[in-house]
Structure 1
Amino acid sequence: MAKEDCDQTEKGSRGQSNSVVWCEQRQGRITSSNLGSVFNRKETTPPDNLVKVLCGYISFDNRFVKLGRDHEPAARNVAVEKSASQSTNHHQHGADRAVDNCVTTTLESNCCSHTDHKGSTTAWWRVDLDQLTTINAITIYYRAQYPHRFAGYQLYVSNSTSSPQDGVLCFEDISTTRDEVQMVVTHQCPYVCQYVTVYNYRNNQKRHDWYDDYAVLELCEVQVWGCPVGRYGDGKCDSVCSGNCLGGNCNATTGDCFYCVPQQYGIKCEMECPLNCLDRLCENIDGNCSGKERQIEVSVALTD
């Protein structure tokens, strides 16, 4: 560790077990407080639990990760190895580390991006998906044990990069306590976009006393579940949306159309609007006429 990092760790870890820095720096190290557990372990006792304790094992079996896993087979992670950028770099922890397909949430793993933590009032991270993409959900893995830095973040999707807050706000964290901040979380974000941005800020008067003083982002992985516009499928995005979908776009998982071209309706816009609808225009879902119904003249042949 550099002297700067050592000084920061010493200052941040005062209070020991009450300090998140102290907890993180103990991960993967044998210290005076756990040395006894190593020497006193019986040969007949399986080492699994002891290894987990020493390595700071964190279970990801929660409902938010399950939601991300449920989406994984249906749409693919379109952010992997795409071009990423961020407001500043902390040492070697560049933006691309959040799209390297590594979900380990410790800085020592070299899997996490990290913006500079000195004096910043705003911080942002962005991935360019290369093309317009239909998104279902976005999963974020944040650096473990640093909720005070992640808290208050915002998630945006956009088609431009003139400002970190361009586009549509998909989510904003409003946690009121440290424990409420979800460090691994999946957000539903059903939009079409090319860029995904994570943004955070700190006001002169912090929103909560437990917030970090400065705006910092430490993203270990950002997974964007979706498909390029016009495609959907089973993790490969190898199926083409129906030509009756308006703009050729559909749900990246199911292939269902968001809207139909005129005169069509149904889940995949496979049915024609009724003849009695004015201009053959009807509702996408049920086929009910959008406007007035027209009178259909029926000729009846009279016979003797």
Structure 2
Amino acid sequence: MKMFSKLQPRVIFIATFFMSVTSQVNLALHGTVAQETTYVDGDGNSYNANLAIEGPANNNWKDGCSSTGANQATQWWGLFLPKFAYITNIKFYLRKDESQRMNGFRLYFANDSMYYKTELCYRDSEYQAYLNLKQSIDCDLSPTKNVYFFNRETYVELCYIEIFGCWKGTWGTNCITDCPGECIDRHCYPQNGSCIWGCDEQKCSHGKCDAKTDVCTKGCVPGRGGRYCTFYNTVYKRTAKQSLSGHSSSTNVLTDGNTTTCVSIGSTTSNSYMQIGNESLIFITGVYLFFGDRNLTVGNHEVYCSNTTDSWADGTLLYNADYINENIYVFAICKYIIYIPSILHGNSKIDICEIEIGGCPYGKYGDSCQSTCPEQCRGPCDLITGNCLFGCSVGWLGDKCDRACDEGKFGDQCLRDCSANCLSSACDYMTGKCKAGCKKGWEGFNCTEECSNGNFGWNCSETCNGCIVNECYHINGDCKIDSVCKPGYVYGKYCNQTCEAWHFGTNCNKMCNCLKKPCNIFTGKCPDQSCKMGWKGDSCDQECVSGYFGFNCAYLCETCFNQSCDIFEGNCRVGCNDGYRGRKCEMPVSAESSAIIRFGFFIGGSASMFVVLLIIWMVITARRRILKKQESRKAINNSNSNEQHYDDIMKMEGLSAYQDLAKQTVTVSNDYDQINNAYVNQ
């Protein structure tokens, strides 16, 4: 279908005073500006195009005005927008001291260059621009992307400018309301939102649309809803129920999309209601009630959103006012829609034909709710754009929450930094968990916990249990108390080397003499509580005291003379008490044998004494002979030589005599041992 503009050139009103335009936005701040040439004064000051939109809003040249260069056949200043917009009003300040330079200017809209396919908004045909230093021009033209001020053989000078309008497809205060969906290509007037090119008959039942009001006269096509059939009807063909009296039709006609079938209500109470149910949650943005010919002009109509069937006590009130034949814009999420009619009096009646609920099933969006909201949305998404309304799940960014946190960031809105203790900078963008593990000395989900006492190194897998109270530096394992290690460990930098078997105690400097297995390296206790021969104590590190011997020093050598015996085997060291014989003096002997032994000891002792006396006599005799020889030689040798010679002789002869005596003594002793052993072995 070929479309023609309904916007015809009309008389332009030029104001000499300003009134604020609050319904649209200043588009001059949302585009870029330029001019054909730029004036530069003698001091090098440049009067570029941006000065016109930066302000201040006055006519003073010294405060900053844009200006093209001089002596040019044509000059222009232009605003270039990123997308189509409907311009409704342009306000600008001319230079006070040279206002005549703008006489004869023209104001064009264009979608290309200044010299191609332009549309005239205003022309100063009377060359009277200098009379109005502050001007306001209204325009109703086709949507445009470029706005030009044009002149010939003079300057284009603007001290301040504001260009008001709305982007194509929007209208209303701050242009935040979307044009109705039934408007062809969503073209609507920025002031009131009515369709510029007419309504989209494809959304109207039987293609019937009122060109003046944009209302679908026969209702909407199946699945559409609202006064202008602009929203997706989430309750179309849903099950309806009622608690009424005096109605004439099935309640399901309220959701069949047919505006000619209605429920007639003849009487109501405070408990009267109608309910439309959904199998799952719906995101509601609009409500439209369509009534028949019989309808009260006054009286509140209430609409609730509830998650409990047949109850609105805990529900959300969507509407509570007199009936208006307009869409009611709301924001709610629930499963049931409950309509409560006005209280009727006398012969009053209500014919309600359609309850239409705009929105989408929860998690859906689009013109027909055919698209799924982004997976990482926190809550519902915008039904038109799909942008997440309540932000993103942890770890995600963007309007559609489709961008994970940048490397090194994680968490809600990606505001948290990955731990500095991660082995690499990357961590899980949702949880903060270090992907490559932790640096030395750190552990935990995101490597924020120091190794626990007694551990250090990679993944805290190394131990320093030998350090005093298990305290070591969590990164390198050095003991914090470095002067000593716990018992059971070899002293060192880390105290992590345990004692070798059979050693225990501080620096492993003690030994245990357990019977079969090594002792505990920390406590020194023997596992079977049994010691080797000659040892006792929990650690078997104490020698037997005098008189005891054997395993655990459990045996007493009481028959040994003076209880003196070997601590291992118990062999007596200096003989036996009377009445015993053997190495351990454990074999008793008779009285006669004891007498013989004592006699042998007496004979042996007497012989030994005789030998000792004989040796002493021999030594004395030898010394006398030596003295006599020395006296006879004094005449020949000097005294010093005689003395040295005497000493040498004494040393040699004395040593020889002593050695002879020792040999004889050993011989006597051996004879005694042979006698004693022969007796013992009888």
TM-score (norm 2): 0.27
AA of the residue aligned to 2:192: T
Distance between the aligned counterparts of 1:245 and 1:194, measured in 2?
21
Written as runs of structure 1 = structure 2, the 5 A alignment for 1:29-44 is none
SS of 1:95's partner is coil
SS of 2:67's partner is coil
Unaligned 5+ segments in structure 2 are 1-13, 41-45, 202-207, 220-682
1:251 is displaced (CA, Å) by 1.1
Name which of 128, 134, 138 aligns with 2:86. 134
Distance between the aligned counterparts of 2:128 and 2:163, measured in 1?
27
Distance between the aligned counterparts of 1:243 and 1:81, measured in 2?
25
Q: Does 1:156 align with 2:108?
A: yes
| Residue equivalent to 1:108 | 62
AA of the residue aligned to 2:48: G
Name which of 33, 44, 50 aligns with 1:84. 33
| Residue equivalent to 2:168 | 229
Contact 1:124 1:164 in 2 (8 A): no
Alpha-carbon spacing, 1:125–1:259, altered in 2? closer, same or farther (3 Å) = same
Alpha-carbon spacing, 1:241–1:89, altered in 2? closer, same or farther (3 Å) = same
Name which of 140, 143, 154 aligns with 1:190. 140
1:177 is displaced (CA, Å) by 5.3
Distance between the aligned counterparts of 1:241 and 1:97, measured in 2?
34
Distance between the aligned counterparts of 2:63 and 2:134, measured in 1?
17
Contact 1:160 1:195 in 2 (8 A): yes
1:98 is displaced (CA, Å) by 1.3
Name which of 197, 211, 214 aligns with 1:269. 214
Deviations 1:72-104 (A, max 9, x none): 111111112521010111121111111225312
1:271 is displaced (CA, Å) by 3.1
1:126 is displaced (CA, Å) by 0.4
Deviations 1:171-221 (A, max 9, x none): 110225576x4222111211210000000013xxxxxxxxxxxx1011112
AA of the residue aligned to 2:62: E
| Residue equivalent to 1:17 | none
Structure 1 runs of 4+ aligned residues shifted over 4 Å read 176-179
Distance between the aligned counterparts of 1:101 and 1:253, measured in 2?
26
Distance between the aligned counterparts of 1:177 and 1:226, measured in 2?
26
Higher relative contact order (CA 8 A, sep 6+): 1
TM-score (norm 1): 0.58
SS of 1:98's partner is helix
Distance between the aligned counterparts of 1:245 and 1:100, measured in 2?
36
Alpha-carbon spacing, 1:268–1:222, altered in 2? closer, same or farther (3 Å) = farther
1:120 is displaced (CA, Å) by 1.4
Distance between the aligned counterparts of 1:105 and 1:165, measured in 2?
31
Contact 1:105 1:144 in 2 (8 A): yes
AA of the residue aligned to 1:104: N
Alpha-carbon spacing, 1:168–1:158, altered in 2? closer, same or farther (3 Å) = same
Contact 2:15 2:136 in 1 (8 A): no
Q: Does 1:239 align with 2:190?
A: no
Contact 2:37 2:68 in 1 (8 A): yes
SS of 1:253's partner is coil
SS of 1:264's partner is coil
AA of the residue aligned to 1:248: R
1:242 is displaced (CA, Å) by 0.4
Contact 2:170 2:176 in 1 (8 A): yes
SS of 1:149's partner is helix
Structure with larger Rg? 2
Q: Identity of aligned pairs, percent?
A: 22
Q: Does 1:251 align with 2:189?
A: yes
1:244 is displaced (CA, Å) by 1.3
SS of 1:265's partner is coil
Unaligned 5+ segments in structure 1 are 1-61, 203-214, 275-304
| Residue equivalent to 1:13 | none
